[in-house]
């Protein structure tokens, strides 16, 4: 039985819990504890509740929302961790617990674990599949850069782009590339540039740094923005040995910003040489084709068996060949002119090599002269053929008869009479005229004329 005054004081359960809590909090400084996470709960409040255990003991642990939002990796049951916090008591149950301020995974860094976890998640969604990649444009006209406006990366990108492909226009979206705000602004810049219809390609990146410096390019928001971009994206983060999740999601991964610039734009000198090679091959093809067609025309003329019968068909074939040659040569020249002018209009203002323009005009002029020369050659051959036909007609026996001459045959033998002495007076002969014939009686002969 309780006797009043026998004990100096009596505590309530709540008071006892408060004293235990006060004693623990005052006598135990913040400390590191090693254990395995179990019974993890993640309510809508954003706090994290779990049990930290080893083989023989366990203690409750609480990670409040403000600290949980700063975690780079995801907590999960079975994960061995080091936790830092202070001891306290949850008074309603009288349980002592750890109020955590930091958590680090055991055996691997927090960032590395977060990288592995997010990579596995996004890989399972197919964000890194090769089938999602888009081919980069060969000759980009407008290029978007998502990077810091300061530092060596932006300088290298602009220098190489303007040196290799001066006609390209560059649109810069300046963003921080490290720090707490970097990931959100990088993703926002990618989305904003995707709203512009005229951009051909994006370069997203920064210079080298530590894993912490490059971490913005491992954030989920950035990776998803790159994967969903309708504009082809080239990642250029850090150095060749640095691989980020942004690299895996991009359409092309360049080892450095300088390499990204060289991949995105062609070398204008190489393009000029390519055009020159095309011009040389085109001229060679035109010359070869004209020689072949000229040989065909000459061969057709030489093989005419019946000039009067075949000549009409041959003239038609020559006309058709002339028409086809003219149409094809005109089309080739037009296509070449359009191609050269399309490049000329873009390069003209920035390219000091004005002789390229003169070469283009000279090439077009040579094509026109070649068309005119071939047309003149074919007309000359046609005129020559018509002249031969006229000469053949003049030498025809029927043409001679048409001028008033006749051919005389004897009636008895049908022999052609060439001299007056070959017939006798009183003999009948047949005279063939241009139209019809006459039966004549020889009354006298005269061989003096």
d(CA 145, CA 139): 16
The order of strands in the sheet holding 252-253 is 169-174, 142-147, 201-206, 233-237, 252-253
Quick check: 221 and 184 in contact, CB under 8 A? yes
In this structure, which topology does domain 13-107 adopt according to CATH? OB fold (Dihydrolipoamide Acetyltransferase, E2P) (2.40.50)
**Domain extents in the chain:** 13-107, 116-264, 268-395, 404-441
What pLDDT is attached to residue 220?
94
Q: Which CATH superfamily is domain 116-264 in?
A: Succinyl-CoA synthetase domains (3.40.50.261)
Residue whose structure tokens are 């070869």: 288
**Strand pairing report for 95-105 and 58-63:** parallel
What pLDDT is attached to residue 2?
53
DSSP code per residue over 279-344: HHHHHHHHHHHHHHHHHHHHHHHHT-SSHHHHHHHHHHHHHHHHHHHHHHHHHHHHHHHHHHHHHH
The order of strands in the sheet holding 407-410 is 407-410, 428-432, 437-441
* Long-range residue pairs from 354-359, CB within 8 A, at least 24 positions apart, any chain: 356/272, 359/276, 359/279
What pLDDT is attached to residue 160?
95
What pLDDT is attached to residue 432?
85
Quick check: 24 and 97 in contact, CB under 8 A? no
d(CA 400, CA 410): 20
Rounded to 5 degrees, φ, ψ at 60 are -75, 150
Q: Where are the alpha helices (DSSP H) in 195-266?
A: 220-227, 245-249, 257-264
d(CA 23, CA 5): 27
What pLDDT is attached to residue 265?
95
What pLDDT is attached to residue 63?
92
Q: Where are the alpha helices (DSSP H) in 89-237?
A: 110-124, 152-164, 182-194, 220-227
State the DSSP code for 131: G
What pLDDT is attached to residue 5?
55
DSSP code per residue over 338-402: HHHHHHHHHHTTT---THHHHHHHHHHHHHHHHHHHHHHHHHHHHHHHHHHHHHHHHHSHHHHHH
What pLDDT is attached to residue 148?
95
This prediction has a pTM of: 0.50
State the DSSP code for 201: E
Digits of tens for pLDDT over the chain (449 positions)?
Answer: 455 555 567 878 888 878 877 887 777 888 888 888 888 899 999 898 998 888 888 889 899 998 888 888 878 887 788 889 888 888 888 788 888 988 888 776 667 777 888 899 999 999 999 999 999 999 999 999 999 999 889 999 999 999 999 999 999 999 999 998 999 999 999 999 999 988 999 999 998 888 888 999 999 999 999 999 999 999 999 888 888 999 999 999 999 999 999 999 999 989 999 888 989 999 888 988 888 888 887 777 777 566 655 566 666 777 788 788 888 887 887 887 787 777 767 666 666 666 777 788 888 888 898 888 888 888 888 888 888 888 777 777 777 777 778 888 888 888 888 888 888 888 888 888 878 888 898 888 887 76
* 3 state SS of 134: coil
């Amino acid at each position: 039985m309780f006797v009043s005054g026998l004990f100096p004081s009596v505590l309530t359960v709540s008071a006892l819990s408060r004293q235990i809590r006060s004693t623990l909090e005052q006598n135990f400084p913040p400390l590191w504890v090693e254990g395995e996470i179990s019974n993890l709960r993640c309510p809508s409040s954003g706090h994290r509740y779990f049990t930290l255990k080893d083989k023989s003991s366990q203690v409750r642990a609480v990670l409040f929302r403000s600290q949980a939002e700063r975690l780079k990796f995801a907590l999960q049951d079975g994960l061995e961790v080091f936790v830092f916090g202070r001891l306290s008591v949850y008074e309603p149950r009288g349980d002592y617990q750890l109020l955590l301020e930091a958590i680090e995974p055991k055996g691997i860094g927090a960032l590395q674990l977060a990288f592995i976890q997010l990579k596995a998640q996004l890989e399972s969604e197919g964000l890194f599949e090769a089938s999602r990649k888009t081919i980069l444009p060969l000759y980009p006209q407008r290029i978007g850069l998502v990077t810091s406006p300061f530092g060596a990366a932006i300088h290298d990108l602009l220098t190489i782009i303007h040196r290799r492909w001066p006609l390209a226009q560059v649109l810069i979206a300046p963003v921080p590339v490290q720090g707490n705000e970097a990931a959100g602004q990088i993703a926002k810049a990618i989305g904003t540039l995707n709203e512009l219809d005229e951009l051909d390609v994006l370069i997203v990146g920064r210079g080298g740094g530590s894993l912490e410096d490059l971490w913005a390019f491992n954030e989920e928001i950035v990776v998803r923005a790159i994967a969903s971009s309708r504009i082809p994206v080239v990642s250029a983060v850090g150095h060749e040995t640095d691989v980020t999740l942004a690299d895996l999601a991009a359409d092309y991964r360049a080892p450095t910003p300088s390499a990204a610039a060289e991949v995105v734009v062609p070398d204008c000198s190489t393009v000029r040489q390519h055009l020159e090679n095309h011009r040389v091959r085109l001229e060679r093809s035109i010359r070869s084709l004209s020689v072949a067609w000229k040989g065909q025309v000459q061969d057709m003329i030489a093989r005419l068996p019946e000039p009067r019968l075949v000549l009409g068909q041959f003239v038609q074939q020559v006309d058709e060949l002339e028409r086809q040659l003219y149409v094809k040569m005109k089309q080739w020249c037009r296509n070449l002119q359009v191609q050269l002018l399309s490049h000329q209009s873009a390069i003209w203002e920035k390219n000091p090599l004005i002789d390229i323009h003169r070469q283009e005009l000279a090439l077009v002029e040579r094509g026109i002269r070649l068309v005119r020369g071939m047309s003149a050659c074919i007309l000359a051959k046609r005129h020559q053929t018509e002249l031969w036909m006229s000469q053949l007609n003049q030498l025809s026996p029927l043409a001679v008869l048409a001028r008033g001459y006749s051919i005389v045959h004897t009636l008895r033998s049908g022999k052609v009479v060439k001299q007056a002495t070959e017939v006798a007076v009183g003999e009948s002969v047949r005279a063939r005229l241009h139209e019809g014939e006459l039966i004549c009686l020889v009354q006298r002969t005269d061989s003096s004329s």
